[in-house]
């Protein structure tokens, strides 16, 4: 008879669809590793104050007789800006839980907000918030939001050290996202 059918048929991995499948699987595996390492903090993308972050090029090279780059792609780094409502909840919680007023003042308040909210400076800020024993957030409504700014209306109840309860206090706060610090800050718009 003739040649055996298995002799006439080449391996799947030696066909064009097989090679394309292998390349796609390799690229997926490398992308997954990059994502895993980024999530774990092994790979970090430096913060930049510029509006347009630099691109990162990834070249995948398969070892073989030709040593030619098989795929090259440009992946722009992604800056993930957290939800402003989550920031406000964190800030209000830290005011009464951690009470690290120096860190809160320097990290979460712009100089403009500091001057407006506490015209007599840091000491006034500490005196105002150190009298607050507990804060309950009734609601937070984001009234305006763009990529790097937002406005919010916060309805809170709070108890001061003397025991008095202030209810339904409305705070109208503006926020700006600070890319250098990777956080929202209370600001004046």
Q: What is the pLDDT of residues 7-62, one digit of tens each?
A: 556 676 678 888 888 888 888 888 887 877 677 667 666 544 444 444 454 444 44
Say if residues 145 and 81 touch (Cβ distance below 8 Å).
no
In CATH terms, the fold of domain 84-187 is Nuclear Transport Factor 2; Chain: A, (3.10.450)
**Please, where in the chain does CATH 3.10.450.100 lie?**
84-187
Say if residues 100 and 76 touch (Cβ distance below 8 Å).
no
Looking at residue 130, its pLDDT comes to 92
Q: What stretches of 43-164 adopt beta strand conformation (E)? A: 56-61, 69-75, 132-145, 149-160
Looking at residue 189, its pLDDT comes to 77
Q: Give the chain's radius of gyration (CA, Å).
A: 28
Looking at residue 60, its pLDDT comes to 44
Look up residue 19 and give its two tokens.
Answer: 């090679």
From edge to edge, which strands make up the β-sheet containing 132-145? 132-145, 149-160, 165-178, 183-187
What is the residue-level pLDDT of the chain in tens, covering all 189 positions? 445 555 556 676 678 888 888 888 888 888 887 877 677 667 666 544 444 444 454 444 444 444 444 455 555 566 677 889 999 999 999 999 999 999 999 999 999 999 999 999 999 999 999 999 999 999 999 999 998 899 999 999 999 989 899 999 999 999 999 989 989 999 997
Angle, helices 84-97 vs 101-108, to 10°: value is: 160
């Amino acid at each position: 008879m003739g040649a055996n059918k298995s002799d006439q048929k080449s391996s799947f991995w030696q066909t064009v669809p097989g090679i394309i499948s292998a390349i796609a699987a390799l690229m997926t595996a490398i992308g997954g590793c990059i994502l895993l390492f980024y999530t774990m903090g092994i790979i970090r993308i430096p913060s930049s104050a510029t509006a347009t972050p630099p691109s990162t090029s990834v070249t995948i090279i398969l070892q073989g007789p030709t040593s030619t780059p098989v795929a090259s792609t440009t992946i722009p780094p992604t800056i993930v800006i957290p939800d402003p409502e989550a920031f406000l909840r964190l800030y209000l919680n830290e005011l009464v839980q951690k009470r690290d007023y120096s860190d809160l003042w320097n990290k979460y308040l712009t100089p403009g907000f500091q001057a407006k909210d506490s015209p007599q400076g840091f000491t006034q800020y500490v005196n105002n918030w150190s009298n607050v024993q507990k804060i309950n957030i009734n609601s937070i409504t984001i009234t305006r939001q763009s990529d790097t700014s937002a406005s919010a209306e916060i309805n809170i109840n709070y108890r001061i050290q003397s025991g008095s309860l202030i209810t339904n206090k409305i705070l109208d706060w503006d926020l700006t996202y600070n890319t250098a610090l990777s956080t929202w800050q209370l600001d004046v718009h």
